[in-house]
Amino acid sequence: MIFVIGGAGFIGSSFVRKIENPVIYDKLTYAGRMENINDVKHIFIKGDVSSPELEESIKKYRPEIVVNFAAESHVDRSINNPYNFINTNINGPVNILENQRKYDFKYVHISTDEVYGEDMADENACLDPSSPYSSSKASADLFIKSYIRTYDVNTLIIRPSNAYGVRQYPEKLIPKAIIRSILKMEVPVYGTGNQVRNWIYVDDLVNVIKDLMINGKKGEVYNIAGNNMKTNMEILEMIGKYIDVKIKYVHDRPGHDRVYNMYNTKLNYNITPMEDGIKNTVEWYKNNRWWWEPLINDRYFSDDEPWHIKI
């Protein structure tokens, strides 16, 4: 049995569509929504990854594999309130590791390319995080490595590049740009818009994660790069082929990394051409207003410089 933590979020909800009858454990914070998984056959438990109640669910279902997608993941939010990121992104994985010591399951941890910072990075590169978000993810990775060495737990780390696709919360660049353009609003662009990211379509990503869930080796780190190096402006130009995009330049994010250039040395997998992935994504948001209309009052969707928001 597969126990998926954070399975109601963006990547998690795409992943649970690839497996049979998962147990989904999710806190249902702003980005984790039942609307994402109502069409998936599953067992659902509402819970916090850092809570002692996690053990009750693991003890009850005794999973063979635990896959952890649960994370606070938006850099702007981490600048405003780092504490939430410490609790979910560090204490949560440590809680899973402690349960792993007791109940002996395989743990697949989903990290991020942002732990490497701006340097070109393979799986052996040093970690150099730049934001509270990436620092929290790097901290979890280091805890995992220490548990593997100290307790010999069966754990592996997956570091994807920037994912995009359907059911992504509109705080992120691509859904935010699409939805604001549908609503004929300007799309805020940080600085010059020349920040470079390596993009991967979410269906491609979860297919690789599913394979690694079975075949990934204990103690290994796996980078999943999308091999689509694009600036933010290039992304908006691609979206602009399918919907009119109006741009508004705003002050750059504090500590903003200029480029993420992670690559993998261990895996071969299929990649959806970005033109096709963007077209599919735009069409989904056009045809599923019911999904995103309740979200447009989120201040990270409507505010141009969200790190200025007072907490």
- CA–CA separation, 28 and 197 (whole Å): 28
166-198+229-259+273-308, superfamily in CATH? UDP-galactose 4-epimerase, domain 1 (3.90.25.10)
Q: Judge contact between 27 and 70, C-beta under 8 A.
A: yes
Q: Which residues pair with 5 in a beta bridge?
A: 25, 68
Mean per-residue pLDDT over the chain, rounded: 92
pLDDT band at 228 (very low <50, low <70, confident <90, very high): very high
Closest CA to 113 of 184, 32, 200: 200
Give the pLDDT confidence of 257-267 residue by residue, as tens digits.
Answer: 677 788 999 99
Q: Do domains 2-163+199-224 and 166-198+229-259+273-308 have the same CATH topology?
A: no
By annotation, the residues acting in catalysis are 113-114, 133
Q: Judge contact between 201 and 152, C-beta under 8 A.
A: no
DSSP per position, 192-206: TS--EEEEEEHHHHH
pLDDT band at 289 (very low <50, low <70, confident <90, very high): very high
Closest CA to 252 of 163, 171, 160, 190: 190
Decide yes or no: CATH 3.40.50.300 for domain 2-163+199-224.
no
Give the pLDDT confidence of 49-66 residue by residue, as tens digits.
Answer: 999 999 999 999 999 999
Ranges of each domain in the chain: 2-163+199-224, 166-198+229-259+273-308
Nearest 5°: the CA angle 310, 193, 70 is: 55
Residues contacting residue 137 through CB under 8 Å, at least 6 positions apart: 71, 89, 111, 112, 114, 115, 129
Query: What per-residue confidence (pLDDT) applies to 81?
Result: 74
- CA–CA separation, 110 and 160 (whole Å): 8
* The pLDDT of residue 304 is above 70: no
Dihedral sign for Cα 143, 149, 153, 154, please.
Answer: positive
Give the pLDDT confidence of 126-170 residue by residue, as tens digits.
Answer: 999 888 889 999 999 999 999 999 999 999 999 999 999 999 999
- CA–CA separation, 230 and 194 (whole Å): 9
